[in-house]
Amino acid sequence: MKKTGLLNPAMSHVIASMGHTDGLVVCDAGLPIPEGPERIDVAVSPGVPSFLQVLEAVGGELQIERAIIAGEFEHGGRGLYPDVMELLRTIGEAQGREIPVERVSHEDFKLRTASARAIIRTGECTPYANLILFSGVTF
């Protein structure tokens, strides 16, 4: 049995198989998931697991080069936005580099999810709680 890090085999596998600039979406329970990317549904019930819990777990395994969020998240995300930005800052510090965050419209964000390697659906029920994380390199 694996002792540390991600215990979810689908999440662990997709991160281990990602190459430089591949995208991974972490999303709330309501984001439409397009055909194409692998769907990893970890939602159990509303709020379980939370967006922050999943982002923290992913950030411990994935070298993140940059991220994209919907611009609407900052004001429509019911106060979750500052916590997400702080967690990204913390993950970046642990990885030795800042994680730049690009803001796009929510409509554009949804279109961009179609090119992701996988989409991890959380139990989060906060509007716009969605990120596309792009894989970096460790060297």
Per-residue pLDDT band at 2 (split at 50, 70, 90): confident
Residue 130 annotated as binding? yes
Given pLDDT bands bounded at 50, 70 and 90, which one contains residue 1? confident
- Per DSSP, the three-state class of 65 is strand
Q: What are the pLDDT digits (tens) for 92-120?
A: 999 999 999 999 999 999 999 999 999 99
Question: Tens of pLDDT along 40-91?
Answer: 999 999 999 999 999 999 999 999 999 999 999 999 999 999 999 999 999 9
Q: Among the options 5, 16, 20, 90, which is catalytic?
A: 20
CATH number of 20-135: 3.40.1650.10
- Cα 99-80-109 angle, rounded to 5 deg: 60
Which residues, 6 or more positions from 88, have their beta carbon under 8 angstroms from its beta carbon?
55, 59, 64, 67, 99, 101
Active site (annotated) includes residue 13: no
**What is this structure's pTM?**
0.96
Instruction: Judge whether 43 is annotated as a binding position.
Output: no
